[in-house]
Structure 1
Amino acid sequence: MSNAVARSLTVLGSCGAWPEAGRACAGFLLEYDGFRVVLDLGYATLPRLLEHCPRGEVDAVVVTHQHPDHCVDVSGLARVRHYEAPTAPPVPLHCTPGVLDVLRALEPSPDPAEVFDVHELASTTRIGPFDVLTVELPHYKTNLGVRLTAPGVSVAYTGDSGPSPDHRRLAEGTDLFIADATYQGESPDHFLMSAAEAAHAARGAQRLLLTHFWPGSDRSVSVAEAQQLFDGEVVAADEGLTLTL
């Protein structure tokens, strides 16, 4: 009998801004030895999460920032937990300032702070089996990139981010680096990245998962641009894709 720990990452959504037809916005399900943590839950991700967790039975939720394409479906998850598991303990929600205000504006009853055990994302913390490092990265709102490390695996996720030297703290030595790759070619601003900038940010990681594509983008172009600058495997996030870690 194998003693290997089951660990995987499933893409719930891969679009930035709004979901193009048949897709969803930012969201990932990270599983490690039976522990399930969600990384962001934007527009249209909840139905995809419920394919894996029919009653929303996740062990923790992490939200990198308050933009709705990263957090709006946390409100839907609150409803699922309120009605489907009313006696269950609150699910830990680790989030940046402002997320709770967005959730309360969407649905004040039930109060998200009653359904969730809300924690402000700290520079270092522990979530289940994971040691978590956070790094503030440039964006229009406070955005914290996260690195989750457990025995035998390390995964990092930028949330939304412009180029930053602090990406190295997240990427170095990780098995998988999940990076904002909104644009192709030259990025028009300093608060989101192109695929090439994502590849530069990922140096030091083994694999690069590009995500947060602008709706309608040809993702093969993004992958090709990143492959020119990143030595490891480059994968485009696709709804339903599961990577073994």
Structure 2
Amino acid sequence: MRMTVLGGCGAWPAAGEACSGYLIEHDGFRVLVDPGYATMPRLLELVPAERIDAVLVSHGHPDHCADLNPLLRARALGGRPPAALPVFAPAGALDAVLALDRASMLAGSFRLKETADTEIGPFTLRVFHLPHHVPNAGLRLSADGVTIAYTGDTGPSPELAELARDADVYLAEATYPEAVPDEDAPYLSSARQAGATAAEAGAGHLVLTHLWPGHTDEPALNAAGDGFPGKISVARGGLVLDL
């Protein structure tokens, strides 16, 4: 299994960066997780739009799904449109982004499905409903004994330890290094919290994502490392993990 980070910037794409976007590949099957702002050009440097086999969206904030629109345009308006793309998301999460174009223009380019435990190509998907400002699905993808667990954006929850349990990669939202401001504390996480969860769950490699634009990596790495003794990285565009 391979995971390529297209971007990991929280809220909006800082100069030269992209928001959340992760290409996960196994056995020739390609899943795009969270096509956030500015991920589409980076994706097209790696693979044509028609070669994506499925899309998973954790939640409906645009920094996690806005570039679904150009992805569907590229597939629908190309010379030889491919089969309809399976797109999995929480109910109603994609209403706004799908409304950017008239329905007839994208008709037949995708099949929208509500996120639930299922099989997607070679992957087994388990879904965890986690607290955020809008419905958010934690995603656990497994194939051939390898697991990548992804939080989307989330506040504290006992479900996080189960999501991350023994995962080879725990891709965890860490908007702030040390502490989340009080008004967002139920809905977002810190790198320190991500490290504690990774340790509790026995995860192998902690990858911190969704850092606030302008934040540097070192404070987040240090905060997470206080509680987690394993390998820690920050999700920056171009990071490739072969598992």
Normalised-by-shorter TM-score class: over 0.9
Same amino acid, percent of matched pairs: 46
In the alignment, the residues of structure 2 paired with residue 56 and residue 72 of structure 1 have an alpha-carbon distance, to the nearest angstrom, of: 18
Matched, 1:156 2:149: yes
In the alignment, the residues of structure 1 paired with residue 39 and residue 138 of structure 2 have an alpha-carbon distance, to the nearest angstrom, of: 20
In the alignment, the residues of structure 1 paired with residue 163 and residue 148 of structure 2 have an alpha-carbon distance, to the nearest angstrom, of: 9
Q: Which residue of 2 aligns with 1:3?
A: none
- TM-score, structure 2 as length reference: 0.94
Q: Which residue of 2 aligns with 1:200?
A: 196
In the alignment, the residues of structure 1 paired with residue 88 and residue 111 of structure 2 have an alpha-carbon distance, to the nearest angstrom, of: 8
Q: Which residue of 1 aligns with 2:120?
A: 127
1:217 to 215, 218, 234: 215
In the alignment, the residues of structure 2 paired with residue 113 and residue 157 of structure 1 have an alpha-carbon distance, to the nearest angstrom, of: 30
1:192-218 Cα shifts (integer Å, max 9, x gaps): 101001112223211100000100001
The one-letter code matched in structure 2 to 1:234 is I
- Secondary structure at the counterpart of residue 172 of structure 2: strand
In the alignment, the residues of structure 2 paired with residue 220 and residue 73 of structure 1 have an alpha-carbon distance, to the nearest angstrom, of: 29
- Secondary structure at the counterpart of residue 200 of structure 1: helix
Contact 2:139/2:150 (<8 A) preserved: yes
The one-letter code matched in structure 2 to 1:135 is F
The one-letter code matched in structure 2 to 1:153 is V
1:124-143 Cα shifts (integer Å, max 9, x gaps): 11111111100000100000
- Secondary structure at the counterpart of residue 213 of structure 2: coil
In the alignment, the residues of structure 1 paired with residue 104 and residue 221 of structure 2 have an alpha-carbon distance, to the nearest angstrom, of: 42
- Secondary structure at the counterpart of residue 94 of structure 1: strand
Q: Which residue of 2 aligns with 1:234?
A: 232
**Relative to structure 1, is the Cα distance of residues 220 and 85 closer, same or farther in structure 2, using a 3 angstrom cutoff?**
farther
Q: Which residue of 2 aligns with 1:96?
A: 90
The one-letter code matched in structure 2 to 1:130 is F
Cα drift, residue 168 of structure 1: 1.3
In the alignment, the residues of structure 1 paired with residue 222 and residue 94 of structure 2 have an alpha-carbon distance, to the nearest angstrom, of: 38
Q: Which residue of 2 aligns with 1:70?
A: 64
In the alignment, the residues of structure 2 paired with residue 111 and residue 154 of structure 1 have an alpha-carbon distance, to the nearest angstrom, of: 36
Contact 2:136/2:153 (<8 A) preserved: yes
Q: Which residue of 2 aligns with 1:143?
A: 136
- TM-score, structure 1 as length reference: 0.93
In the alignment, the residues of structure 1 paired with residue 8 and residue 58 of structure 2 have an alpha-carbon distance, to the nearest angstrom, of: 15
Q: Which residue of 2 aligns with 1:106?
A: 100
- Secondary structure at the counterpart of residue 24 of structure 2: strand
1:90-140 Cα shifts (integer Å, max 9, x gaps): 011011122331222222245556311111001x11111111100000100
Cα drift, residue 85 of structure 1: 5.6
Q: Which residue of 1 aligns with 2:8?
A: 14
In the alignment, the residues of structure 2 paired with residue 49 and residue 205 of structure 1 have an alpha-carbon distance, to the nearest angstrom, of: 27
In the alignment, the residues of structure 2 paired with residue 112 and residue 193 of structure 1 have an alpha-carbon distance, to the nearest angstrom, of: 35
What residue ranges of structure 1 are gaps of 5+ in the alignment? 1-6
1:27-82 Cα shifts (integer Å, max 9, x gaps): 00001111100110000000001111123410100001000000000011000101
